[in-house]
């Protein structure tokens, strides 16, 4: 039945499937379980956030999907194919600014495509297109040191998108920004999502950010990180910052905050 409906509508087919994922790290006193029995699915063009207390395994989960860490057991399928190491079909944006300081903005955006040996003309076209999308065309020849934190993150997003990945992975991308810049970039993210139709998985410890940006939130329990709850949000794709003042928004925010607080209390 399910297979049948997926064939009828490719827009609802799963983009990313994680099955029975476990991750343990070697420790001084035996191994330490960081992620336990994670099962989740992301559908095409979904914007999903993962939230949870510090140290619950959020970054580990993202790093495994990115292929930067190996799972201890379990399966990850992207577009139906098992992932095996890092690859250009996943774009990653980290919290700390990771631009190459000696390269200009456009060279930074171009870098991954060069590694992939994408022809020069195509590279230049994509640099132009994605710098336009993130609103930084004017800064194409600037060096990262002359940019603000918010601008650096927009370059990092353009760089990730330029490889045209199947999924955009973001690990606390706005965590180092001041409150005002953060709100501006949150609205920017929604616009970018609508424009590019990307599937986005973002990790954040900022519950308000997760409720504002995503369509679904996975809440992880404290160590070992397990899926504790899945919260569905029903905001319009065209939402803007004004929804933060609505009763529904505040109710959802409280719901997620309580789930995380319970976890912290249980282990503090
Ligand atoms: N390479 C590693 N070797 C050993 N232990 C690790 C490694 N990476 C992460 N851990 C441990 O795994 C657990 C989960 O870490 P992770 O960084 O994924 O948490 P997090 O939810 O992203 O935390 P934060 O909110 O602080 O960013 C932590 O206890 C951490 O110390
Ligand atoms: Mg982390």
Q: In what order do the strands lie in the sheet with 73-78?
A: 30-43, 14-27, 73-78, 81-82
Coil/strand/helix, residue 197: coil
How many angstroms is it from 94 CA to the middle of ligand 2?
9
| Of 8, 166, 206, the residue nearest 76 (C-alpha) | 166
Let me know whether 191 and 256 are in one domain.
yes
How far apart are the C-alpha atoms of 179 and 158, rounded to whole Å?
A: 22
Q: Which of 109, 142, 164 is the last residue of a domain?
A: 164
Pocket test for ligand 1, best of 38, 59, 71, 202 (most atoms within 8 A of CB): 59
pLDDT score of 6: 42
Let me know whether 149 and 171 are in one domain.
no
Coil/strand/helix, residue 234: coil
Number of structural domains found in the chain: 2
User: Do the domain assignments include residue 140?
Assistant: yes
Ligand 1 in reach of 260 Cβ (< 6 A): no
Q: Which of 106, 131, 164 is the last residue of a domain?
A: 164
178: domain range? Answer: 44-70+79-89+167-267
Average pLDDT, the chain: 92
pLDDT score of 263: 80
Burial class (CB in 10 A: 0-12, 13-18, 19+), 3: exposed
For residues 214 and 49, the answer to whether their CB atoms sit within 8 Å is yes
The set of long-range contacts for 138-147, using a CB threshold of 8 Å and a minimum separation of 24, is 139/105, 140/104, 140/105, 140/106, 141/104, 141/105, 141/106, 142/104, 142/105, 143/101, 143/102, 143/103, 143/104, 143/105, 144/97, 144/99, 144/100, 144/101, 144/103, 144/105, 144/108, 145/101, 147/105
Instruction: Please compute the mean of the pLDDT values over residues 19-42 and round it to a whole number.
Output: 95
pLDDT score of 28: 87
For residues 92 and 160, the answer to whether their CB atoms sit within 8 Å is yes
Instruction: Please compute the mean of the pLDDT values over residues 189-200 and round it to a whole number.
Output: 93
Ligand 1 in reach of 53 Cβ (< 6 A): no
Q: Which of 123, 139, 164 is the last residue of a domain?
A: 164
Question: Could you tell me the pLDDT band of residue 1, with boundaries at 50, 70 and 90?
Answer: very low
pLDDT score of 134: 92
Instruction: Please compute the mean of the pLDDT values over residues 163-189 and round it to a whole number.
Output: 93
User: Do the domain assignments include residue 13?
Assistant: no
């Amino acid at each position: 039945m399910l297979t049948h409906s997926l064939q009828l509508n490719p827009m609802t087919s799963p983009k990313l499937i994680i099955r029975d994922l476990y991750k343990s790290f070697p420790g001084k006193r035996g191994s330490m379980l960081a992620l336990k029995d994670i099962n989740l699915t992301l559908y095409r063009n979904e914007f999903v956030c993962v939230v949870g207390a510090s140290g619950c395994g959020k970054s580990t989960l993202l790093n495994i999907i990115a292929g930067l860490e190996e799972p201890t057991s379990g399966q990850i399928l992207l577009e139906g194919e098992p992932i095996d190491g890092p690859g250009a079909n996943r774009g990653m944006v980290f919290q700390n600014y990771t631009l190459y300081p000696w390269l200009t903005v456009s060279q930074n955006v171009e870098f991954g495509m060069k590694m992939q040996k994408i022809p020069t003309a195509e590279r230049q076209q994509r640099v132009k297109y994605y710098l336009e999308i993130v609103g930084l065309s004017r800064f194409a020849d600037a060096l990262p040191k002359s940019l603000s934190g918010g601008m650096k993150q927009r370059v990092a997003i353009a760089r990730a998108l330029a490889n045209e990945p199947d999924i955009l992975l973001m690990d606390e991308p706005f965590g180092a920004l001041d409150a005002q810049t953060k709100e501006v970039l949150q609205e920017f993210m929604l616009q970018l999502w609508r424009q590019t139709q990307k599937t986005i998985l973002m990790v954040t410890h900022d519950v308000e950010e997760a409720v504002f940006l995503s369509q679904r939130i996975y809440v992880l329990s404290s160590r070992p990180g397990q899926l504790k709850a899945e919260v569905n949000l029903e905001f319009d794709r065209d939402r803007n910052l004004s929804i933060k003042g609505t009763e529904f928004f505040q109710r959802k925010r409280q719901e997620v905050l309580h789930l995380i607080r319970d976890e912290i209390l249980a282990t503090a």
